[in-house]
A and B are shown apart, each in its own frame.
Chain A
Amino acid sequence: MTLAATGSAMAAGPVVRELLPNGLTVVVRESPGAPVVALTLLVGVGSRHETRETNGVTALVGRVLLKGTRRRSALELAQTAEDAGGTLESATDQEYAELRGRGLARHWPTLLELLHEVATAPRFAPDEVERERGLLLAQIRGLEDQPFQVANRLLSRALYGEHPFGLPTAGTLATVGRLDGADLVRHFERFFTPDRMVLAVSGQVETGEVLRQAGRLFGSMDGRATGIPLVPPPTRPAEARLAEVRPTQQTHVLVGFFAPPIAAADYAPLKVLNAVLGSGMSSRLFRVLRDEHGLAYAVGSFYPTRREGSRLVIHVGTAPGNATRAERGILQEVDRLREEMVPADELERARTFLGGVLDLDLRTNARQSFYRGFFELMGVGPDYVERYHQLIEAVTSDDVRRVARRYLSEPAAAVVGPA
């Protein structure tokens, strides 16, 4: 007997992309499965566009945007979203700021209106700026209570030094403490322009109707972001090693390398390399450091997708007495990738794993709207989801060894733990 699927899953509609005359891109995906909708507005601005003086300004803007518009107070914004069965949230990263809403599908016009309002008519009320500054400072302190986050901050500094790529997304206590309302407005007006925005919608909606409403609301925005000088990231780590003493139970060791951006030909091979090395429970680091040597509970590697330039980071948390051994184990696995070919069956497993992880992740509307918008903002288009599978499938063991030799050559390390 066969367990062939029963006449197909409920098919989602095609992904439709429309470029408005003012430069804003709208991406819509109809998904009939569940009575929900997710909307993502991505703006091409993040800590990458900050300086050592303004570090954290994007994060603070992201927070304050939700704290009142010319039409609605912070409470009214939250109530309207919750009455739509949903939430309105913001997040910021190195290369983008994100405003997102989700809720019951029948309320999508309300959620779209809310997104438009917070992205175009924020109030920047002084008391809200003060309150959000306090909360952002608390968030920064909270990150310092998580040893992995401390090590990650340290590694960024080791890799990038003074370059904006090394700045923490949330900012620092000193910089966030100094920002004022005028800084926020200036940053907002400079970067929150339609040509830097992508709106993505996924859910039980009608594509034509969403495009019409989105065009009506967002089409009237104007302005262009001009004169943004982007200093290229360094080509060598600023420091080979940084350490910080903390009275923790575990020592965290992070090892990082520079890695290429999404549009580079080496992106897919390095993704496969990362899967072989440290992604998932059958990866080499997991098998060797955890299964064979019992050195760690959490061990692995990650390679974030970036438009300009990225990093591949290996991490392990281990008993302080084992830190040296764990670090040596990590570097041995790196060397193995540079020296030996990945066997065919392992390569095949890693490729299938990568495709599977993305497919599984893409099953919710929230992830669909994020990824479609994200790939558009990264400059590779919302259909990159489909092309990604082909790119991964084409990667050979030769490719993996080539990118290992090219990129995994000059590590920077960060260590956080007891003296």
Chain B
Amino acid sequence: MEPRRRRLDNGLTVIQQAHRAAEVAAVQLWVRVGARDESDAESGLSHFIEHLLFKGTPTRGPGAIDRTISGLGGEMNAATSQDFTYYHIVLPTRHVETALEVLADAARHASFDPEEVERERLVVLEEIRRARDDPNAYLWRILTRHHFPDHPYGRDVLGTPESLGGAPRERIVDYYRRHYLPNNAAVVVVGSLEPEAALAAVQRAFGGWTPGPVPPSATPGAPDLAAVRRATEARPLQQAYFGVAWRGPLVPAADVYAVELLVSILGRGRTSRLNQTLKEEQGLVSSIGASFYAQQRAGTIIVTARTDAERQGKVEGAVLAEIERLRGGPVGEAELARALTNVEAGYAFGHETAEGVAYSYGLAETVWTLDFELTYLDEIRKVTREQIAAAARRYLVPDRFTAATLEPIEVCS
């Protein structure tokens, strides 16, 4: 089944597809704005606006949007990354027009009531505190900061207590007006709906949104790494948390498909090489995994592991030994077949729900191209064992990576 993609007169992209697993519709608004678009003084504003958008409009008071959606048996969520901000509603199909109206109202007419802004500022400050108490989130913070020095991707999406605390309401509203434009956004509707009816409903809700000049994206490509960078921080923890990152290919480069499989063979699932060697055979780690994070202006290959104080010194070397093995020669035929099956199954499970489909389309449309998502399975099936080894040699360079460690220190209690 293929999605339909249209553009309204005001430049808003609309993607629609029928999904008949349940009488449910997923409605998502994707805005091409994220932490990468922020100046130092604006750090954290994309995410702050994500919080504030549902805090009221001239016709809907604070809390009204939450009450409306949950009162219809629906769920609402939102997220902010470096590249995008997205808003998501899933609810019984018969209420899909309400979901579209609510999203359009918030996107076009958010009030940013001064009192609400001050209350929500405190909430985001709590979110920052909470992230510092979470070792996995904290490791990610340290790793990306050092992996992207002097680059927007190295900044924290949440901002800092200083940047957030010091942002006056005018700066927030100004940022919102510059970026929340129909020609800088996409609406995705997936559910048990007739395509033409869905499109007409989007037109009714969003057609009156006035376009404007979209600020040119100033995010440069991430420069190559010149050397190994290491960052270690002592934290009051019981376990050690370790991460290592390399530069990977940029979507839609052909190498992306080989790298996806490479990462799967290296560190996804129990049979992956890192799990078998470092966890099962050597007992060096209690958990380990690899992933490929494809942002618009950077691709990042990441390995993270959890271990204890005694073994943490050996983990980096053991990971690099596995990397060396991957660079050394083609992967096994069974390994490749298993990795492909894994991708195929991941795709099938991802498409079980309307919001799973909507998310994959919205993400592709916002960060890459919708076509990339639609041809993904066909393209990845063409990858050969030699291409995977070649990708390992090209990207997993032994003297150009970033490593971060959270070292446990004695907790005084």
Contact = CB atoms under 8 A, between A and B. Distances in A.
B62 A291 contact: yes
Interface residues of B, number: 78
Contacts of A296: 123, 126
Contacts of B276: 75
Interface stretch (A77-85, A91-99, A226-234): A77-85
B400 interface: no
B70 A282 contact: yes
B51 to A, nearest CB: 10
Contact of B73 (A131, A144, A244, A353): A353
B283 A139 contact: no
Contacts of B20: 6, 8-10, 33
Interface in B29-50: none
B351 interface: yes
Nearest to A289: B123
A246 interface: yes
B323 to A, nearest CB: 21
Contacts of A103: 345
A246 B67 contact: no
B121 interface: yes
A138 B305 CA distance: 12
Nearest to A143: B238
A294 B165 CA distance: 14
A394 interface: no
A204 to B, nearest CB: 10
A138 B286 contact: yes
A343 interface: no
A83 B338 contact: yes
B278 to A, nearest CB: 12
A19 interface: no
Contacts of B307: 138
A297 B130 contact: yes
Contact of A291 (B119, B125, B351): B119
Interface stretch (B87-95, B215-223, B375-383): B87-95
A363 interface: yes
Contacts of A282: 63, 66-67, 70-71
A209 interface: no
B300 interface: no
A43 B197 CA distance: 47
A131 B280 contact: yes
Interface stretch (A177-185, A193-201, A354-362, A404-412): A354-362
A45 interface: no
Contacts of A250: 126, 129-130, 133
Interface centre among B18, B22, B97, by most A CB within 10 Å?
B22
Contacts of A357: 73, 75
Contact of A364 (B201, B344, B352): B352
Nearest to B269: A82
A138 B337 CA distance: 32
A134 B120 CA distance: 43
Contacts of A364: 349, 352-353
Contact of A295 (B23, B118, B122, B279): B122
Contacts of B70: 280-282, 349, 352-353, 356
Given A85-B345, A294-B119, A5 B23 contact: yes
Interface in B297-331: 306-308
B341 A82 contact: yes
Nearest to A36: B348
Interface string A250-283: 1000000000000000000000000000001110
A85 B238 CA distance: 35
Nearest to B341: A85
Nearest to A35: B348
Contacts of B62: 291
A217 interface: no
A145 B239 contact: yes
B342 A6 contact: no
A5 B269 CA distance: 39
B354 to A, nearest CB: 8
Q: Which of A3, A287, A348 has the most CB of B within 10 A?
A: A3
Nearest to A128: B280
Interface string B332-352: 001001100110110011011
Given A1-B197, A246-B236, A75 B271 contact: yes
The CB with the most chain B CB atoms within 10 A, among A5, A84, A86, A134, is that of A5
B271 A244 contact: no
Contacts of B90: 360
A171 to B, nearest CB: 15
B308 A6 contact: no
B345 A86 contact: yes
Nearest to B307: A138
Interface in A96-147: 102-104, 131, 134-135, 138-139, 141-142, 144-147
A118 B291 CA distance: 29
Interface string A131-168: 10011001101101111000000000000000000000
B174 interface: no
B91 A74 contact: no
B205 to A, nearest CB: 12
B194 A6 contact: yes
B94 A3 contact: yes
Contact of A356 (B18, B91, B286): B91
A287 B194 CA distance: 37
Nearest to A283: B70
Interface in A335-382: 348-349, 352-353, 355-357, 359-360, 363-366
B342 A82 contact: yes
Contacts of B63: 282, 287, 291
Interface in B64-122: 66-67, 70-76, 90-94, 96-97, 118-122
A356 B135 contact: no
A141 B239 contact: yes
Contacts of A74: 270, 280
B21 A33 contact: yes
B162 to A, nearest CB: 15
Nearest to B236: A247
Contact of B129 (A33, A249, A356): A249
Nearest to A317: B130
B124 interface: yes
A104 B94 contact: no
Given A356-B72, A360-B90, A34 B352 contact: yes
B193 A36 contact: no
Contacts of B119: 291-294
A356 B74 contact: yes
Contacts of A349: 67, 70-71
Given A145-B237, A357-B75, 12 more contacts: A3-B197, A31-B21, A33-B21, A34-B348, A34-B352, A36-B352, A79-B334, A79-B338, A82-B270, A138-B287, A250-B126, A356-B73
18 contacts: A6-B20, A31-B21, A36-B349, A79-B271, A135-B286, A141-B308, A244-B413, A245-B413, A246-B413, A280-B70, A281-B76, A290-B123, A294-B118, A297-B123, A298-B130, A319-B129, A356-B73, A363-B22
Interface of A: 1, 3-6, 8-10, 31, 33-36, 74-75, 78-79, 82-87, 102-104, 131, 134-135, 138-139, 141-142, 144-147, 244-250, 280-282, 287, 290-298, 317-319, 348-349, 352-353, 355-357, 359-360, 363-366
> Which 5 residue pairs of A and B lie closest in terms of their CB atoms, listed nearest first?
A356-B73, A294-B122, A138-B286, A85-B345, A33-B21
